[in-house]
Chain A
Amino acid sequence: MLKFTESVDLIRTYICDYGNSLFHRSISKAVSDSSSANTPFPQLPVIVSRQLEYPHPKYPPLQAWLETLGQKKDEKLGILDLHPSIWHVPPRLDILHDNVEWQKTYKKIDWTYTPMLHEYPSMRKKPWPQKGTGKARAKNRWSPTWKGGYIPHGPKGPTSFFYVLPRHQRVMGLCTALTVKLHQNDIHFVDSLDLPTHEPSYLQELSEDRFWGPSILFVDDTDVMPHNIMFASAKTEGFTLMPVYGLNVYSILKHTTVVLTLRALNKIEKKLLHNLHSYDTQQEQPPPPEDP
């Protein structure tokens, strides 16, 4: 039977790793060691220490609550350390604007097309003789001055507005969006997206109690989501499920609140820090090794 301090140290060492399913096992172990065995979560909040790569020279890690979706009552599971290079970045509004404009524009294709004179019907007869009639001189029926005539220098064919924003701007856009959300209290960290029921009313009431906005973006590690949250968010307008690879500045700003799981947070931090501190060229460079 472990003492309380020893169990806390054990939990701390477990979560020094990338807090995966080990987290639940460690919590249940702490629970079994402590007296109360019926409650699914421990009574006291547990300090969760995360090892951060590339520590910032000046700013210490930020802290945020770790919450649950497993019960309606808002009980905090612990405190998370957040990397200041991602979560404490100066609010670059110009980069946010660039990212949002890019996301809107790069998919745009302008399909307008005005045919040239040679693409019009092939009747090239002079409507009336040059002189004699009191009418204005006319060479062909589809002159630009005539009704139904061709448009000179008009739009020609599908034009694409595709361009790719530089990698650094996209990375800083994500960092800025996340800092802005954090400092406006619109980000919440959650251990996982497991719900007790598939009823949408459970999630709706939970979000109303906790004052989570009308639109919520749930971000998880992989694109395979638990069944319950899938059914709950499908029926609710404004609740979006998203894997980490789909995270973008427009969605972060569009949804009022953003709910990240611990696994998603680890993955996002790892990827963003790798992009901020490495030299990946445009050649086919293998991506950093991912955890299974």
Chain B
Amino acid sequence: MSVLRFLKKVPFFTPPVFGRSLTSSYIYRSDVSETTPDTATKPITDLPDEYANANFIQSYESTHQGWEWVDNILFKSIIPDPPDHATPSGWVPRNLELAKQWSYFVDRDRFHSYGLYVKILPVMLEYWLHEQHTYYLNIFRRRVEYDMYAQRMRRFSLLELISGDIWKLDEDLKDYLTKRVKETNDQTKELPILSQVDEIRQHILIDGEYEEWIADFLKEKGF
């Protein structure tokens, strides 16, 4: 019977089958029997004496070996230190000698990455307030502003964790990005590059998606 199955013609495209079916291809194995074993069907009283008097696990031995395998799985809140070299993913360690010479400083977050984020906001094309379609809804007795007719979603790049002279950083960043834009001649990028500096929150918001180029800028400066 198994030999016949092996010779049976299989179509070129076999649809995915979950579980075993009679039409699925079967690789003949000598160590596995096709018939179901007695232990699965017969009750334990019908089995021969060898099965009934089987030696199950009666005792255990506790050791302190192999803890590393358990420790590897446990959740740890302490974040490990990063390596001193650049990794294949593009991560680059900090260069403090280079970073200390500038009048500003961009710190890294607790995961040793830049404070670079994409901010996506819905934006109205109407400028005047009375032309905007903002509705107020009462959700759980709180007034919530709901923008029903946001025409488009505007994308910003946000740079955080800044300290020092934030305006100088803004200047240098914009110069670098304009230089990069002129090199690539990308039609989607518009000049001049617009940015918003928030001194209280210590962050810079740039209109457009420039995350990778800002990361290159930070790598150049050694942050």
Contacts and interface: CB of A to CB of B under 8 A. Distances in A.
Interface of A: 57-58, 90-94, 155, 159, 276-281, 283, 285, 288
Contacts of B107: 57-58
Nearest to A54: B110
Contacts of A92: 200-202
B110 A276 contact: yes
Contact of A277 (B96, B105, B110): B110
Given A57-B107, A58-B99, A159-B141, A285 B77 contact: yes
Contacts of B200: 91-94
Question: A interface, by DSSP: helix, strand, loop or mixed?
Answer: loop
Question: B interface, by DSSP: helix, strand, loop or mixed?
Answer: loop
9 contacts: A58-B105, A58-B107, A90-B202, A93-B200, A94-B201, A278-B79, A280-B77, A285-B77, A288-B77
Interface of B: 75, 77-79, 94, 96, 99-100, 105, 107, 110-111, 140-141, 163, 200-202
Nearest to B161: A90
Given A57-B96, A285-B75, A279 B110 contact: yes
Contacts of B202: 90, 92
A155 B110 CA distance: 45
B73 to A, nearest CB: 15
A57 to B, nearest CB: 6
A277 B99 contact: no
Nearest to B94: A57
- In the A-B complex, the 10 residue pairs with the smallest Cβ-Cβ separation, listed nearest first, are A278-B77, A90-B202, A58-B105, A280-B77, A277-B110, A279-B77, A93-B200, A57-B96, A278-B78, A279-B79
Contacts of A280: 77
A3 B12 CA distance: 93
B163 A90 contact: yes
Residue picked from A93, A276, A278, A281, most chain B C-beta under 10 Å: A278
A155 B138 CA distance: 12
Contact of B99 (A57, A94, A159, A288): A57
A155 B105 CA distance: 51
Contacts of B201: 92, 94
Residue picked from B100, B111, B200, most chain A C-beta under 10 Å: B200
Contacts of B79: 277-279
A6 B163 CA distance: 41
Nearest to A84: B163
A159 B138 CA distance: 14
A90 B106 CA distance: 13
Contacts of B77: 278-280, 285, 288
Contacts of A58: 96, 99-100, 105, 107, 163
A93 B198 CA distance: 12
